[in-house]
Amino acid sequence: PVLGKPATLNQMQQMLNRQQKLKHQQKLPNVKQNQQIYPQKNLPPKTVPLKLKNAEL
C-alpha cells in the first residue's frame, strides 16, 4: 500500500490470506514432528502398559 493512504479492503484481505497461509504451512511440519516424538498417543489404549495407565490416572 502507498504510504499515507489507508490500505484498501482488498489489500487487507490479501495480507490476511497470506498470513493465514504462512501460519498453516508452519503448523504442518510441527504436527509431523510431534507424531514422531510422541507416537504413543496415536496407538490404541490397549498397547499402553498398565503401569503407564495407572500413573496417568
pTM for this model (two decimals): 0.32
Domain ranges for the chain: 9-56
pLDDT reading at 52 higher than 80: no
CB atoms within 10 A of CB 48: 13
pLDDT in tens, 20-51: 887 766 666 655 555 555 555 555 555 555 66
4: left (phi over 0), alpha (psi -120 to 50) or beta: left
